Every structure is written in structure tokens, then in C-alpha cells.
Structure 1
């Protein structure tokens, strides 16, 4: 949770890139890099770890990559603050790509360890409280964010972001270390690594033979298209609504509080009603994020002294856009919980790493959703991107209704 405060894409990273480049397309590259780094390793990692009794060493490698990347970003931005913006951006992209790749490498071992530690009926609450409880330790971090982005702060751009990125490296170090201290149970595994060609063919066969998996992947793609504008609310606030830099702190507080409460709520919701209902619910709620953004410029404009000592003067349209950030935060926590828990439900136990890896790999079209949103925003306007996102959210609701509830099904 702490790392999300310092390195959130929808508030911190999107704001940093937009202030640095002024380009919506460059902002759209952020989700491209993030999704590519997350999804691409999923096809190869299971081949390396499925036959191993312990998956923790693979997680250790990914943790080192992520910590190194964010340390490099934080220190690099602070030391190169006077360099040309283009050079800073290229430097940032290289290290952000390394971090995203490390996150992708961590996916299979993380979910494999979680599935061995906790029974099916407890995973929703576990994932919810894991994301939500971190907020209890986030108060000092939030105070730092409010200070560096306040109107009275002497810390100028990009030093304020460099401080946040350095804090993100420390937070990732703390969270990774705590996870590595967990004692990983040993379960039966496949005895030997199969030939890579056979492994790939078996993975591809999953998509052809499992209609529930096909529907789940279709849902993920539609939902991602419905959320494709989540990194653009910050540029929209800056360019169209005239948001001051202090609004970054306000948006971040709203997103984190909504994700904190939303994660806990969705976790209990999933355990009580099932992950299928959770995926339907978050798709329904997600519809309102772009809708609120569409209405924000139509709110009567007036300046409001909103906690002036902290945020300064913020206009009514920017304050209305807070609703989009609130929905985005609540939905992002629920989506991570719902997708992860549903995927673990339908995965056969002994082939779980392969199933998790290829399920994520099959969702590779998600890589381009952010770039699509960036191009639409650049050439057709933010409003068109928001309108399309709302439409895909509606489609994802109907696709989610076709999913099967596995809660009472024995498999594996």
C-alpha cells in the first residue's frame, strides 16, 4: 500500500509524465509499459518454477529488480533535475520498464504461495485486507505527499517527484522483505521440467479447451478498455480544469482512502457472494468514473478555498472530478482481488503456475489500452476517450454475467 502512495500510475506517474512532456500519448505509454512488463514474463516464468517445490527464490529476483529500479528512478530524478525533460523521460522509461518487468516476474510465485497458504474461502478477505491494512501505516507517507505538493512547499518540480519515487523504493523494500519472511509450504509438484515446446502447446491448449477461461479473458479485456482512461484524469484535471499542483495531494488521498475501504469491502463481498458477483459489481461501479469526468467541465465554475493551508484554492470542477478518482481507487482494488481470486479458483492445483501464467499472457491485448486512450485523447479529445470507456464498462458488465461461479466446483 505504501508503494502505491508514492508510485501510483493514475495520480503520481501520470502527473509526472504530463508535467514533464505535456503529451497525452506519452502518458498513454505508462499503462503500455506496465501491462507489457506484467504480462509478457507470465508465459515463461511457469516453465522455470512449476517443477520446483519452492517459488520464493523467483519472488526474490523480482523484488531485487523492483527495488533497484525505483531506487534508480528516485535518485536519478533528484540528480538530473536540471537536465532536459526529454532525457529525464527516457531515463524514467528505462527504469520504469525494469520495475514493470520485475512486477511481472513476481506474479506467478506470489499467487502460487498465496494459494498454498490460504484456502479458497479466505482468499478474498486476505487479498482485501492485504491491500487495505497497508493504509493504516500510510499516514506519515500521506503527510509527506501533502507537503511536497502543497502550494507553500519550497520543493519544486521534479524534486518533489524524486522524493516520492525514493520513498517508493523504500516501501517496496519493506513489503518485499515482509513477504519473503513467510514460510512457504511444500506441496506436490510435477516431477520434472517438460520440453519448452510441449509446455507452450499445453498452455495454448488451455484457451481452446476451456470456454470459462475464454470468457474470463474477454471480460478482462473489456474491463481494461472500460478503465483505459484511469491514467488520464490527472492530465485532464491539469489541462482542461486548471488544477493546481496541490490537487495531486487531494487526488491521492481520495484514491487511497477509496481503495483502502473498497479493498476491504470487496474482499468480504467476494467471500460472501463469490468472485463472479464481485467482477460484475466492480464493472458496474467502474462505469461511473468516466461519466463523472464527462460532467466535470459542466459544473458551474467557482473558486473554493478548500483547506487553504494545505490545498490552496481549488475550483469546483476539479473538486467534482474527485468522484472519478474515488471510483477509480475503489474499483482498482476490487479488480485485483476479483481477478486474482477467480483465476486461482479455476486453476488446477498441480498445473497452477502454468494456468496463471498463460491466463495472463492471453490477456496481452491489454497492453495497448493505455496507448489507445492516449491517441484518442490527443486527436479526438478527452471526452471521446471517456465516452468510449463508459461504453466498454457496460459491455464488461454483460460479459461478467456469462462467467461461471466455481465456488462449489471441485477441480484440479
Structure 2
């Protein structure tokens, strides 16, 4: 009997980058259903089957990545790759999990461009109607979890009102900051119970360096974009900022990116919503929607270069924060103030996503009685029959192609 079999709490010997890449590539090809489903796939693959870590350690990794901004499932994958094979393992986990959906969405962007007027095609109308149902489903689910009481529901409503009346990226950032301050003032709570340690070892100098780089890029990229006027830097700044400020999962990236890219005509609104609908129908992280947008820009870098810049920029904050916070997480997660601030932030992002449900999702996706009927049907299929989002979106695209 092996040492691992005698005591499952003991860590496995270090793995290889190739092993990590192969495991996450398989998940990137098969993980449909959004971030919550991804976390279930990860647990089955790495706790139960491969036994890379224990249930308690996995729960701690998940808790960390829900606390940080960015794509939670991708961050969990990065942390697991880091644990298994160091920093190269983190990169291998991200590439493996992200590559399949990124390739599909970039290919979709080229297809939309080749078709010309996206708004005039029925299957695009179907995807846009499906996006209404998918976002509505996400708003309801997030509200139940993140705004379940009067105080947090009030913060969500206030956030929605502000963003609807002043739809600007800077206003959304201010709402997130205000949510954190309101959480500190209104929702002081007990510390989290001790759940053990992560079992992921990063030296403090490396962690501090990662956090410093995160802050330097967040502050410096807007200045660099303004000073140089370079389209590639401006594109990187847009996606880096979005990846740094998104709390609550992939759906919340929608309003941040829409406010940056559609009013400035970087991406056509119809193409934006069509790409968002298509992102529901592919496996892997929803943040690969950035690849579609980067490939679809009308000015500056476009095509494969734009897609590459957008993908790297939107995922880089998640990687830096994962590396930077790990050594300090055991202490941070016990702090009542940190938990209260996060509760406030989570509440207002429900409001931000609710505002996005109206504009641009509903206003652009519902253009007739037929598209409204299709959106209602997709919503019912998800809520009543638990139809996976990817299947609902593919079905809506097919219905739109045939009937709209």
C-alpha cells in the first residue's frame, strides 16, 4: 500500500507541466455549464480521481478564488496547476483550460466578419435572444446567493439605478468601490471558520512581486495608453481593467466590456451580443469571450493579434492575484472586515449585471414579438427543465436560423 493510500492528507510528489496541461486540456474540451459546473468537474478530476489534494484543501482554494476578482474557475485551475508544478504548472493549467473555447470563439469572430451584416442573419438574432434568457437566469441565481437580505438587496438596487442612469466604465468602478465601503459600514460579520491551509507554497518575495506588478499595470496601462495613443496598449488596458474589477463570475464581465467597446464603436453591438451568446455554447471559461472581442475590433489590432492581446490581458490579473494572495490567504480570510467588504461588492455587482440585462442585452436582443417569445422559451427551458446553457443557446441559434 502506498504512502498516499495510507494517508490521503499527504500531498503527492510534484507533478510535471505536461501532466497538468493534459489534465486541463481535457477539462477545457468537456467542461460545459459555467463556473459552478467547472468547480464540480475540477473536484471530480483532482480530488476524487487524481487525488492531487484533499477536499479541505480544495475547498480552501475555491474560497480564495471566490474572494478575488476575476474568473473563479480559471483561478482555481491556476492555483491547482501552481500547486502541482509551480509557476509553469499555473501557465499550463490556464492554457489547457482556455485554449479550446478561445479557438472556437475566435473562429466564430472570423465567421461573423465574413457574413457581413450580422444583424440581418436569423441565427444571430437567435443567439441575441438566448443571451437575454441566459443573463436573466444568472441575475436571479446571483441575487439569491449574493443579495439574499434587505441590506444587500438594497445595495444591488442602488447599484443598478446608478449604472442605468450613468452607463460609463468609471461609474461602474465607483459603484464597486462604494459597495465595498457600504459592506464595511453595514455588514460587519464574524470571521470565517478555520478550514486548514491551502497547501500551495509561494515565496513571499514572489507573492509581493506579483501584487506589485498587478498594481503597476492597473495604474500604468491607462497612462501608457493615453500618452502613446497606441491601439494595442489601449486594447490591453481595456481588458486588463475588466479582468481586475470583475467580481461574481464571467457574466459580470459583460457590462464592463460593453461600456468600453460598444459606445466607442470598437465592436458593433449586434456582434457583441452574438459573441456573448456563442460564448454560452462552448466549454471552458466565459472570459474567453475576450478572444472574440479582440478579434472583432474595428480599429487598432484585430484578428489573431487582437484576440491574443485581449485574452492575455483579461486573464493576467487573475494569475497575478492568485500568486500574490496565496501566502496571505489564511490570515486574510479570517478578517471580518475583508468578508464584509466582499459582501458589499458582491451585492452591487448583482445590480450592475441587472442593469446590463436591460441595456444592452434586452434592448438589442428583443427586437420583435418573435425574439421575445424565443427568449422566454430559452429562459423556461433553463429554469423549468434545467437545460444546460450551451444546449439552450445552440437551440436558439438553430430556431433563429430557420424562423427569424
TM-score, normalisation: structure 2: 0.29
